[in-house]
Amino acid sequence: EDRLDVESLNNIYVRTDKGEMAPVGEFVELEKVYSSDVLNRFNLYNAISVQGTAAPGYSSGDAIQAIREVADQVLPKGYGYEFDGITREEAQTTSNTLIIFGICLLFIYLILSALYESYLIPFAVILAVPCGLMGSFLFAKAMGLENNIYLQTGIIMLIGLLSKTAILITEYAADRRRAG
């Protein structure tokens, strides 16, 4: 009840450095301002939180890219944006995807080269996958399918089947070649 109005500050006493009691009103001057009850911060900066989802037919990666483009055009100097939560993780890992993909492709090539004892035969196996994937993406686009978890799971299974088939055909061709 002592904090309900400005005049009540004279009813609240604090001890001074000399040990005497003095009303708080002697040390502070209150000015009434209107502001937010809570001040949100992110990485020690004042912040606001904006939440949203991608529109139907668009992926979260498309939404992240659109937010970046709009923010770069609209935000004035001195203002910035950061992603938080799972979107932050997705935005950070997207740039590493191509590097990881390249390293995986190199290891697959090296393993197949060791298996076939040839530097050319692994290309037959490796090139079978993009050809099959191109057909699956064209089919998905022609049928109007969304790029969701079911399509992505099917594509992963298709990569496995394409690789297996290409390896079996290459093995069969190598056996026939050795037989004459």
Cα 173 off chain centre by = 43
> What are residue 13's DSSP bridge partners?
23
Give CA angle at 34 (32, 38), nearest 5°: 115
Whole-structure pTM value: 0.52
Quick one: which of 120, 136, 134 has its CA closest to 170? Answer: 120
- Which residues are within 8 A (CB) of 111 and not within 5 positions of it... i.e. 6 or more apart? none
What pLDDT does residue 109 have? 94
What pLDDT does residue 3 have? 59
pLDDT at 51 exceeding the cut of 90: no
What pLDDT does residue 1 have? 55
Express each pLDDT in 12-44 by its tens digit: 888 988 999 998 888 888 777 888 788 888 888
pLDDT at 2 exceeding the cut of 80: no
> Distance (Å, rounded) from C-alpha 94 to C-alpha 70?
19
Express each pLDDT in 112-131 by its tens digit: 999 888 898 899 889 999 99
- Helices 86-116, 60-74: crossing angle, 10 deg rounding: 130
Which domains are seen in the chain, by residue range?
Answer: 1-34 (no CATH), 39-84 (no CATH), 96-179 (1.20.1640.10)
What pLDDT does residue 4 have? 64
Q: Mean pLDDT across the stretch 45-64?
A: 87
Assess contact for 140 and 147: CB atoms under 8 A: yes
